[in-house]
Amino acid sequence: MRQNLSTLIVIAGAVLAFSACGSKDQGKSRDKGPDPKAQPAEPGANTPPGMTAEKPGEPKPATVAEPKPAANATGPKEMKKLGDFVDAWTSRYQANEAAVNAFEGMPIMELVSPALLLAIGPQFDLLNPDGADGRFEGQLVMAGKKGFIEKKGAVITFGYSHTLDKDGFGPTAKKGDVQILEGAADLALRSITLRSRTERDGKKITATQTEYRLLADGSMLCLSLNGHAIDGKGDPSKFSNFIFLHNGDKKYDFVVAKAEFGPELPAVTMAEKGDLDKAKAAALATASGYTVEKTGGVVDGKLVLDK
């Protein structure tokens, strides 16, 4: 794999490993075949959680018009596994990485952080190395948690749920916290959605929703929403981010917006809005209650902010 892809996965693995310290997995041993009675439930990312841990849900795959084959794009054009989304994103990011990193001597973190969640996908691929239809469960090699992957033709669902049995890293990883990931990908539509949340005493303290889509022109869109109920010190503080990225050949348009929703995120998805561009994404953020903080993109090899 490319060097920056390896770095991305290592970083994501480190983040997951920190959060997994002291985890008590809520999974079963690997199932070598489909289990028709063990279908994941509908996702509940935006539903007030109950007092007990939930099993990984099954988010509905994005319902978008079937794209044409990508043209003039580097990296994979046909998606066969979750890791292909990582390769597709990083191969396009290569043309923009220098510009992002050189901005005023330090990259804007919102332009880099959404890809960290995407990097968990290859771990689930290892539970089903042959890409067979069916449900498979087992230990995730870097996260140290038990997860599942289920494949039905071009549609893949995956996830995990576990409870920490001792404090992990940071104020959002305390003993008793329930950490949940729900993911869904449509390989034919070349789209993937990942939702994660942390629950404490039956209430969400963090939540994220990140969508990626490979477009017909070979570029990729990302819409990432995240919210927190506590700050870096563990004190109550509601804040939320809206991040839109359009990653292509020497093109990296972005919108960064803020709000105070906390982990109860507005119901916003790219699937309902068509192929967003920077202007449409900024309008969507505003209409959803966010305040746009900055927009910009890569122009002539340099990352610039819009005036």
Measured in degrees and rounded to the nearest 5, phi and psi for residue 93 equal -65, -25
CA distance 53 to 178: 6
Helix (H) or strand (E) holding 125: helix 121-125
pTM for this prediction: 0.76
Q: What mean pLDDT is predicted for residues 119-131?
A: 95
Query: Amino acid identity of 8?
Result: L
8 Å CB contact between 286 and 256: no
pLDDT for 60? 43
13-64 pLDDT, tens per residue?
A: 433 333 333 344 443 333 333 333 333 333 333 333 333 333 334 444 444 3
More confident residue, 71 or 108: 108
For the cut 50, the answer to whether the pLDDT of residue 8 exceeds it is: no
Among 99-108, 193-202, 238-247, 295-304, the minimum mean pLDDT is found in: 99-108
pLDDT for 14? 38
pLDDT for 70? 40
8 Å CB contact between 257 and 241: yes
CA distance 66 to 69: 10
8 Å CB contact between 246 and 252: yes
